[in-house]
Chains A and B, each alone.
Chain A
Amino acid sequence: MSATPAGLRQSAATHAAEYDELDRRIIVATQDGLPRVARPYHAVGEQVGVTAAEVMARLQRMLERGVIRRIGAVPNHYKLGYRANGMTVWNVPDERIRELGEQVGALASVSHCYHRPRHLPGWPYNLFAMVHGHDRNEVEAKVAEIARLLGDADRGHTVLYSTRILKKTGLRIGG
């Protein structure tokens, strides 16, 4: 691999205008979670040197801009009994992928849904949807639901079950 694939070049630069240095400091200060104290935004504010009101306003603005997806509890699905984790991958026509991806991504059973590149000839799949279940039967039922939704746009799919978590840490950025 010598040339940088196009996808890797979609760098943070495209989003750089959406958040500034203070926003970044707030992200770094909270990436392990908000402090479990009565006034967590005050605690974060003290750490980064601004008021609690400023911390809340910045978080609100990042939410509105989509830099932050959501603020809330991040459960550990595996610990909660979701032992079957299937990465379902689908070969769908490129010209319909957005329309189909939005439908698959809207299913309650799908936790992530992405367009990713094919690697032909061995890997014809361009739509990735992550499905969790208590067991494989539950995952299979959800796969069948996606297949029904895609209909004849499903030109082949497979499910890659995870057999081991070899490493899992939250996204970390340097301070």
Chain B
Amino acid sequence: MDSDNRNRQIGRRGFLAAAGAGASALAGLTAGTARAATPDPAITEVQDWARSLGDGVAVRPYGNPSSFEKHVVRRDVEWLTASRESSVSFTPLHDLDGIITPSGLCFERHHSGIAEIDPQKHRLMVHGMVERQMVYTMSDLKRFPGRANRVYFLECAANSGMEWRGAQLNGCQFTHGMIHNVMYTGLPLKTLLDHCGVRTAGKWLLAEGGDASLMTRSIPLDKAMRDCMVAWAMNGEALRPEQGYPLRLLVPGWEGNMWIKWLRRIEIGDQPWHQREETSKYTDLLADGRARRFTWIMDAKSVVTTPSPQAPLAGKGPQVLSGLAWSGRGAIKRVDVTFDGGRNWRQARIDGPSLPLSLTRFYAEFDWAGEELLIQSRAIDDTGYVQPTKEELRQVRGVNSIYHNNGIQTWLVRGDGQAENVEIS
């Protein structure tokens, strides 16, 4: 027996004796506290990581999550689209906490795959109804005064779009995962537009990406001047390629498709261009066969991320319900939660910053005796908008609109703690 093992055995015997003596004396004080029948080897045995040396510095020059977190990844739903180059992957909301989405887990939506752009060869052109038609390099952009840091959510207009006709996908990653929330660094778009001198007749802006879909959207000039940005960084580092490296447009509070990635061109004009993504797509077909267009703002919405189908309850007793709320019209003022399918509600506890046009984190601590739960959350923003039920939305929009489904989500939690996506009366 080597000295390590001998020490461990002595240690274990000593612990057993102490635990036996202490148990009776403390019994009265610890009613309700769980007790182990046998000592926990995670404590009594010396673990490998507590004995031998681990990797040194710079062995992992760009750090990755623990190997025990390999399941925390973006996922896709194969049947949604014809090819992965024009498809979507979903943020694993059920595995995340706080309000900032890690850069590598931000959902992706590409129309012709990820453009891998050499920043030395990237150019931003601003032209059309301006006094000075200009070309900027990335280096030019980083020399402008007025650099800004802002936290914004980006939600795809089609987030929850699969749920219009009823509960379909099991997991908030799939029902609500076309959203992310990061801190961006960049320039107010107004700085660039002023640098070029927008002419009086200029009322609209066309933003274009440099990928193989040359993604384009028309944006009204007043929005562009109010709070749009061109950003080159997210969460303190350069944008990820799948998020538009080296430059993307931010259109805070508005549907994600407008946040042009790989931004290479801005044209100023006097009318919208009626591009594919604002006519055949991203228009909201109503029950009467007509369609709403230019539905840019993302209305207030929320979802409980724990418990949820991918994050079941582990056992009876104290629980922490957790979730996210957001609004494209302002800040979240309040979130209510229900455990009985909307018979009774209580106010959730918001923790962390509740910034306008950003995700807001909420919690509701509760005790669970194993009864069936019907859990929902309801967001209220500072314009007084109250998140509607899915049925209320269907009454005004029908079930064909695909986009802008911000209805209240229901999770059924069964006695075994497993959760399922359901719809209730």
The reply to whether chain A is a binding partner of chain B is no
Spell out B's residues near A (CB within 8 Å): none
